Chains A and B, each alone.
Chain A
Amino acid sequence: MNRLPRWLVAALAVVPAVGLAVFYLWPFATLVVAALDADALTDTLGRSQTWKVVWFTLWQAVASTAVTITVGMIPAYVVARFDFRGRSVLVGLLTATFVLPTVVMGAAFLALLPDSLERTVWAVIGAHVAFNVAVVVRIVGALWEHLPTDMEYAAATLGASRLQIASRISLPLIRPAITAAATIVFLFTFTSFGVIRILGAPGTRTIEVEVWRRATQLGDIGGATVLALLQLAVLGVVLVWSTMAQRRHSRSLAMGPAALRRRARTRGERRFVAAAAGSTALIAIVPLAALVVRSFSTPDGWSANAWTHLGRTEVRPGLRVGVDPVDAIANSLINAAWATLFAVTIGALASLAITAAKRHGRLIDGGLMLPLGTSAVTIGLGMLITFDVAPVDWRASWWLVPVGHALVAVPFVVRVCVGVLRSVDPAMTDAAATLGAPPIRAWWSTVVPYLWQPLRVGAALAAAISLGEFGATSFLSRSGGETLPIAIEQLLGRTGTTLQAQGYVLATMLATLTVVLVVAVEQSEAAPQRMVGP
């Protein structure tokens, strides 16, 4: 065995582990200690409403995840395997759908639904599917494009039809990625907040909504903490299962470093690609188009004033709206840059440690997923009472917000990277070792190079998540400027035609910014690798 020395694995793991401990475990534990008592426990667990909420949370998440995975496979395949005009724009649009604030996307979605479906659980599941398809496309696609096409052809020469190739070769081989995507979609829908509040019937609550309601509207922080722990317990079980499943099914593929995308050749193929890409694009474009339309509409008809009068313009002499879009964009970009830096650094180290450490890797892997599944309110409140004394008097430090974003983004970076790293053929490391390379050198030259490609995808996701993040960080106190999502919420929370239209102008800008960002990364990733034919 050519094992990496323990100290190296430990060194890789230390930054992610300390980050997780300081910014997640410690605050959360502090809140639990401060707020949890026997009364809160018996009250909350004894209330029949609690179990109704848990049951609803669970079943809608399972249903949403199953449908999302099913719907997402075809676009994942098309995006991974085919090179077509508008491919990166499609990926950018999907990613934008995923990261835009739910208050905005939810409103757009609502406008498109027939009345009979509004505020039903079907609307909730539909929205979950539409918003999360991007996760499947990115995570499954990232592994799928590394699956050698020749393996599928080999099956074909043995008499396997397209369907048989998919069911017997491709799906089993990308199963770790499917499990990973399903886990993330499950986490997101299990902890769903905005979609439930906007599209669910009033009174429909997930645990996340109930935690928020208890902690902020009723001041029942003890009860909120019990629910947050309950939420974590359910997720813990799911995560342990998923991490094990991923490792059990992960295979070493004889991977080519190059993407194997090609143009559709036959007419049937071209039709298939066009139909799949077109219908997927529709999921993303229609809500985005609704945003643009609303930025131009007023109760009295169409107007471009919201665009021309944006920002510091005086509405009346001496009266300004107090939202500067340029500042908001700048704040959002600065936050996103730091959040991406944090997330990529921690995510890269964690991914290498997870794959190198094997056994203990699971601990880091599962641990980094926890913040995604923990109620944002409790993390925010926990930070508040933890970082309040010197030398950790960090409340309202400017970097607490990007750290919060990074907590949410790291699991995505890890998922994308680990999927690829685990598939690196160990024979290559062994081959390097037989050529005389010591373990670290062999690892550095055979494993690490595979990191850059998924890391770029991870960075784009992290930046996009940070740009659109609202939930987690709206609970962190902040001073000195608002980000785009916060400005949007603020505008849409006040009466006035101008304010409403300007809110949608900012939402359109946020969507555009996200799409541009993702497309830019996508193209920088694709450029050196596009292949002509097989």
Chain B
Amino acid sequence: MSSLDVTDVRVAFGEVVVLDGVSLHIAGNESVALLGPSGSGKSTLLRVIAGIVAPDAGTVVVDGIDVTAVATHRRGIGMVFQDNQLFPHLSTLDNVTFGPLMAGKPKRDRREIGQRWLDRVGLAGFDDRNVTELSGGEAKRVALARALAAEPAVVLLDEPLTGLDRELHDRLAVDLAELLRTVTTLLVTHDPDEAAVVADRTVLLADLVG
């Protein structure tokens, strides 16, 4: 039931101002889709929230706690990258259980958590599969399972369905909506239909300024 508050965030790379005075509120368990043309700074906003990019001004607050200065790995914010970023040297199960491993969970629990999440994303039995041999849809599901298995307070998704073929896209969109119902979610996309299926609410990046 974590809420997320982004207030007056400003990011500039040298002379180029990418985000200026962006604010956003997401209630606990709410799924929000962020729409905007490519290059508008959507991904940068996700990176600010995850702590990958430090903002020049503004704050990121999770559950009333200011995490702006907190390191990424202590924020409890999960992220599904556009290109998944699965760890190629680890098996599918070890990818999914990476979060529990970092949290210091014992081996038996990790295995159980990992298999449960693989099952939930429809990949039961994929434990020992080489992640570099997964199809695009399978890899995306693994990335999602990996992010959720870490039990984040907030999960961020960067264009999760881009690049998948139409049928797969539609099926995964429904699955996503289901999976994300119990977690606070911010989803970046450029596709209004996708936003409507997956999220409870849709906002335009341009509307967040001011």
Residues on A close to B: CB < 8 A? 148, 150-151, 153-161, 164, 168-169, 172-173, 249, 251-254, 265-266, 425, 427, 532-534
Q: Which of A153, A265, A427 contacts B54 (CB 8 A)?
A: A265
Contact, CB under 8 Å: A532 / B102: no
For A159, the chain B residues whose CB sits under 8 A away are 73-74, 76, 99, 102-103, 150
For B132, the chain A residues whose CB sits under 8 A away are 251-252, 425, 427
B7 at the interface (CB under 8 A from A): no
For A156, the chain B residues whose CB sits under 8 A away are 50-52, 71-73
Residues on B close to A: CB < 8 A? 13-14, 16, 47, 50-54, 71-79, 81, 83, 85, 87-89, 98-99, 102-103, 132, 146-147, 150, 152
Contact, CB under 8 Å: B77 / A157: yes
For B99, the chain A residues whose CB sits under 8 A away are 158-159
* Extra pairs beyond A150-B83, A156-B72, A533-B53 (15, CB < 8 Å): A153-B50, A153-B79, A156-B52, A156-B71, A157-B72, A158-B102, A158-B150, A160-B102, A161-B71, A169-B87, A173-B89, A251-B89, A253-B88, A532-B14, A534-B53
Query: How far, in Å, is B43 (CB) from chain A's closest CB?
Result: 9
Query: How far, in Å, is B86 (CB) from chain A's closest CB?
Result: 8
Query: How far, in Å, is A212 (CB) from chain B's closest CB?
Result: 43
CA distance A254 to B134 in the complex (A): 13
For B74, the chain A residues whose CB sits under 8 A away are 159
Q: Can you report 25 A-B residue pairs in the complex whose CB atoms are below 8 A from each other?
A: A153-B47, A153-B72, A154-B85, A154-B87, A155-B87, A156-B51, A156-B52, A156-B71, A156-B72, A157-B73, A157-B78, A157-B79, A157-B147, A158-B78, A159-B99, A159-B102, A159-B150, A173-B88, A251-B89, A251-B132, A252-B88, A427-B132, A532-B14, A533-B13, A533-B14
Kindly report which residue of chain A lies nearest to residue B18, judged by CB atoms: A533
A534-B47 in contact given A157-B72, A159-B73, A159-B102 (Cβ < 8 Å) = yes
Kindly report which residue of chain A lies nearest to residue B79, judged by CB atoms: A157
Kindly report which residue of chain A lies nearest to residue B152, judged by CB atoms: A157
Contact, CB under 8 Å: B50 / A160: no
CA distance A154 to B78 in the complex (A): 8
Contact, CB under 8 Å: B98 / A160: yes
For A153, the chain B residues whose CB sits under 8 A away are 47, 50, 52, 72, 79, 81, 85
Kindly report which residue of chain A lies nearest to residue B85, judged by CB atoms: A154
CA distance A482 to B194 in the complex (A): 72
For A154, the chain B residues whose CB sits under 8 A away are 79, 81, 85, 87
For B102, the chain A residues whose CB sits under 8 A away are 158-160, 164
For B146, the chain A residues whose CB sits under 8 A away are 158
CA distance A164 to B132 in the complex (A): 22
Query: How far, in Å, is A32 (CB) from chain B's closest CB?
Result: 42
Query: How far, in Å, is A92 (CB) from chain B's closest CB?
Result: 26
CA distance A304 to B1 in the complex (A): 77
- Counting chain B CB atoms within 10 Å of each CB, which of A148, A159, A253 scores highest? A159
For B83, the chain A residues whose CB sits under 8 A away are 148, 150, 254
Task: Report, nearest first, the 4 A-B pairs whose CB atoms are least far apart.
Answer: A159-B102, A533-B13, A156-B72, A154-B85
For B77, the chain A residues whose CB sits under 8 A away are 157
CA distance A254 to B71 in the complex (A): 26
For B78, the chain A residues whose CB sits under 8 A away are 157-158
For A161, the chain B residues whose CB sits under 8 A away are 71, 73
For B75, the chain A residues whose CB sits under 8 A away are 157
For B103, the chain A residues whose CB sits under 8 A away are 159
Contact, CB under 8 Å: B87 / A151: yes
For B87, the chain A residues whose CB sits under 8 A away are 151, 154-155, 169, 173
Contact, CB under 8 Å: B89 / A172: yes
CA distance A161 to B47 in the complex (A): 17
Kindly report which residue of chain B lies nearest to residue A533, judged by CB atoms: B13
CA distance A81 to B29 in the complex (A): 37
For A534, the chain B residues whose CB sits under 8 A away are 47, 52-53
Kindly report which residue of chain A lies nearest to residue B133, judged by CB atoms: A427
Contact, CB under 8 Å: A155 / B98: yes
Contact, CB under 8 Å: A158 / B98: yes
CA distance A155 to B103 in the complex (A): 12
CA distance A158 to B51 in the complex (A): 12
CA distance A252 to B132 in the complex (A): 7
CA distance A403 to B188 in the complex (A): 57
Kindly report which residue of chain B lies nearest to residue A159, judged by CB atoms: B102
For A253, the chain B residues whose CB sits under 8 A away are 88
Kindly report which residue of chain B lies nearest to residue A169, judged by CB atoms: B87
For A427, the chain B residues whose CB sits under 8 A away are 132
For A158, the chain B residues whose CB sits under 8 A away are 73, 78, 98-99, 102, 146-147, 150
Q: Which of B16, B51, B53, B76 contacts A532 (CB 8 A)?
A: B16
Query: How far, in Å, is A352 (CB) from chain B's closest CB?
Result: 22
For B54, the chain A residues whose CB sits under 8 A away are 265-266
Query: How far, in Å, is A189 (CB) from chain B's closest CB?
Result: 29
Query: How far, in Å, is A132 (CB) from chain B's closest CB?
Result: 27
CA distance A425 to B54 in the complex (A): 31
CA distance A155 to B72 in the complex (A): 9
Query: How far, in Å, is A336 (CB) from chain B's closest CB?
Result: 38
Contact, CB under 8 Å: B73 / A148: no
- Counting chain A CB atoms within 10 Å of each CB, which of B71, B99, B102, B147 scores highest? B102
For A150, the chain B residues whose CB sits under 8 A away are 81, 83, 85
- Counting chain B CB atoms within 10 Å of each CB, which of A150, A249, A425 scores highest? A150
Query: How far, in Å, is A345 (CB) from chain B's closest CB?
Result: 32
